[in-house]
Amino acid sequence: MNEKKNVTVSCGISLPTALFLIFLVLKLVGVIDWSWWWVTAPLWISVGLCIATILISIVVLLIMHAMQVHRVNKLRKRGKRFGNQRFTW
């Protein structure tokens, strides 16, 4: 039997891209006298937020991993101290 699959394709532009295009047109026709840094700000601010989110996620994951390693090492030391408990992973 043939199964039909629903596929959704989005062709819209994002808010930062729309703002950039508006600022670009306004700058080129002379309506605004902003620096090019501010005209392109919607693009690099959104990229910066994405990079910051990724970096914060990596830091949180590293902290969680370090806490788990510390906990496992603590349990292993406790097992060695009592002698009758063994922890195998």
| Residue extents of the structural domains in the chain | 15-82
pLDDT digits (tens, 9 = 90+) for 38-53: 999 999 999 999 999 9
Please report which confidence band the pLDDT of residue 3 belongs to, taking 50, 70 and 90 as the band edges: confident
Please list, in sequence order, all residues whose beta carbon lies within 8 angstroms of the beta carbon of residue 17, skipping any fewer than 6 positions away.
Answer: 42, 43
- Which of 3, 4, 41 has its CA nearest to residue 19? 41
pLDDT digits (tens, 9 = 90+) for 54-87: 999 999 999 999 999 998 888 888 776 555 555 5
- Which of 22, 54, 51 has its CA nearest to residue 38? 22
Listed range (8-12, 20-24, 37-41) with the worst mean pLDDT: 8-12
* Tokens read off for 56: 């914060």
Does the reported pTM lie above 0.85? Answer: no
